[in-house]
Structure 1
Amino acid sequence: MSRKTAVAARSKTARKELADDGTVRVPAPGEGKRGEQGYLGYLLRQAHAAVRLTMERALADLGVTSPQFAVLTMLKAYPGLSGADVARLTFLTPQTVGVIIRNLERDGAIVMTPHPVHGRIQQWTLTPRGATLLRACRERVIELEKRLARGLDMKTETAIRRWLTGIATELQED
């Protein structure tokens, strides 16, 4: 089938999605399958990508990436985690966490101590420098969090948090 015949065979709706040069127009976020008609999983991923990109831009001049921020956050919340524990909590691969940990240690943001019982397990904690860096990052991320919650009343925000947590909890069991 020629390109011209294939284009003619499309429905009127599909033809509306063509650019002036005849190529398929990629819908913007919020349009078509990237909008309310899209799969929930795709919409969650799209939202995550937008949040991560915005966070990367907000943290760039501090020299911190979104995954590094996640690692620093988890080590502040749960001091003494192993690299494997950090990987599980941040949804990163152990290899990625290994690189992040080496870089954060090199920069003086975290320090390793051997586990008191299992000497081969390395436990990681924030240094004062790491805590200061995390505070600076947190200020910027809080602004993003406020932007995410803009227009939501407390009841709606609580319901969304419960829904997202429920998804993670339920699907974790699969």
Structure 2
Amino acid sequence: MSDIGVTPPQFLVLTMVGAYPGLSNADLARLCALTPQTVNVVVARLEEDGAITRRPHAVHRRIRMIELTRQGEALLAECRPRARTIDQELLHGLSEHDEQVIRRWLVRIAVMDGEEK
């Protein structure tokens, strides 16, 4: 995705905000398994580029809720086919069974990582 100026962490943040509008930086850090510092940098860059917008939470004014802009939605739509191509390249030569085993293993790692924090 470097040809369109999107890093893997930026794609991950765009994907999660697209799926769950209104996340905070802290929510994103937990959901994406990234450090809060990394999320701060990624979110600031995406906001600077016009891909996301942040607005104050209705009750907790210090919390900023993140949403995609139209530009962010278009950028995410441009990224998705590239991500599918990368997935296909990674899976090339694997049997369906092997793919399922790897996906289950990755989910287990993600769940275990979330439980330890």
Where in structure 1 do 4 or more consecutive aligned residues deviate above 3 Å? 170-174
Mapped to 2, the partners of 1:75 and 1:170 lie a distance apart of 23
Q: Any stretches of 5+ residues in structure 1 without a counterpart? A: 1-58
Per-residue deviation at 1:114? Answer: 1.6
Inter-CA distance 137–122: structure 2 relative to 1 (3 Å threshold): same
Amino acid at match of 1:160: I
What TM-score do you get using the length of structure 1 for normalisation? 0.61
Aligned Cα root-mean-square deviation (Å): 1.6
The structure, 1 or 2, with the larger RCO (C-alpha pairs under 8 Å, 6+ apart) is 2
Per-residue deviation at 1:146? Answer: 0.5
Mapped to 2, the partners of 1:150 and 1:73 lie a distance apart of 24
Q: How many residues align?
A: 116
- Aligned with 1:98 (options 21, 34, 40): 40
Amino acid at match of 2:101: A
Q: Any stretches of 5+ residues in structure 2 without a counterpart? A: none
Which of structures 1 and 2 has the bigger CA Rg?
Answer: 1
Per-residue deviation at 1:111? Answer: 0.7
Over the matched positions of the two proteins, sequence identity in percent amounts to 53
Residues 47, 53 of structure 2: 8 Å contact kept: yes
Mapped to 2, the partners of 1:150 and 1:74 lie a distance apart of 26
Does residue 62 in structure 1 map to residue 17 in structure 2? no
Residues 133-172 of structure 1: pairs in structure 2 closer than 5 A: 133-172=75-114
Residues 20-39 of structure 1: pairs in structure 2 closer than 5 A: none
Does residue 121 in structure 1 map to residue 95 in structure 2? no
Inter-CA distance 167–98: structure 2 relative to 1 (3 Å threshold): closer
Mapped to 1, the partners of 2:38 and 2:110 lie a distance apart of 22
